[in-house]
Structure 1
């Protein structure tokens, strides 16, 4: 089922699982958590799950489940904010109203009371969140000036690397993990900062697939906007 609060997309599986944990919270606790998340987003300070692990909050949730609750509500708040932001300058499109938000959250598993409580708290922050999101999107992310990657194969006697564009292997300065084939990536951004990391080939394939999906979504959105 597609949901308007997720830009007419399906709800992620992990979100459904986390919502099942949210249902163990009272409507008052969920409202407090929603308010905390909205406040922290506006101050760019992440919500600390440690604040929610006290017995007075809910002793039945494990630390990982608490983190899941925070992640789920943060995802919902950001998704609704993006929907509102996308209609910010479009008079022919109506933004989500509280009734739609409440009904869809109820369909996802929250009690009616908790869904209404979330919607009421979000409405208090909506204007600020939309303005914050529009301002964030207008700034845009740092652009990449170059990317480099290479295959790294490690043996017990030492490591060998294969750099992109090269058909030969060269010894690495230090030994690599035994019998592993990984991908080392280095991203150079326009602000002269650099990000380097290593991942397995399977993770590299997943990243490549996700980036291709994002590229298709962006292309479709640009085509829709330019009509």
Structure 2
């Protein structure tokens, strides 16, 4: 079965194995852990005392508590990355075997912090510096080629370092065709 929280794929086997461990702890503890995990994602702080307290308050050991944290982190971060609605997240967690009360308690802090999580993940996304074509020239000779003079534009900088790219006519036309296709696909998305 495909799940939106898993990016439209099947749930990983380790997640399926941890559902029973998550079911052993109370729904209030699920909510406390979810809040701690969201805080960890947003600002890097995690209260390990709550994790140790969880192991003493319930019948699970420290390794099971760590597994619960990993599973909850998986659900919260993937739900934000794949823009999963809290109602869909709750339903999918129940389909995976998590009790309804547990999934509802997990979805409350997720719903409150969804936009902050998405903003955080957006800022952590790999970003490639922009390239600006400063000019081009053709070279005559045996295998004619085109030389592109590009300038890497850094954020906040007026100019970056120069890049020279030498292409044959065929490769240049192929590159131009593929760039036009990529631009049309990007325009369709936005």
TM-score tier (shorter): 0.5 to 0.7
CA-atom RMSD, angstroms? 2.2
- 2:15 is aligned to 15
Give the secondary-structure state (helix, strand or coil) at the position aligned to 1:60: coil
Matches within 5 A, 1:97-116: 97-116=85-104
Greater share of residues in helix: 2
Once the two structures are TM-superposed, the CA of residue 133 in structure 1 deviates from its matched residue by: 0.6
Give the conservation status (yes or no) of the 8 Å contact 2:19–2:96: yes
Greater share of residues in strand: 1
Q: Which runs of 5+ in 1 are unaligned?
A: 85-95, 141-221
Which entry has the higher C-alpha Rg, 1 or 2? 2
Once the two structures are TM-superposed, the CA of residue 16 in structure 1 deviates from its matched residue by: 1.2
Please report the TM-score for the alignment, with normalisation by the length of structure 1. 0.53
Give the conservation status (yes or no) of the 8 Å contact 2:89–2:107: yes
CA 1:68–1:50 in 2, change beyond 3 Å: closer, same or farther?
farther
- 1:120 is aligned to 108
Higher RCO (C-alpha 8 Å, min separation 6)? 2
Which whole-Å CA distance do the structure 1 matches of 2:53 and 2:116 have between them? Answer: 30
Please report the TM-score for the alignment, with normalisation by the length of structure 2. 0.63
Matched, 1:61 2:49: no
Q: Which runs of 5+ in 2 are unaligned?
A: 129-181
Aligned residue pairs, count? 132
Matches within 5 A, 1:1-227: 1-45=1-45, 47=46, 51-54=50-53, 58-84=57-83, 96-139=84-127
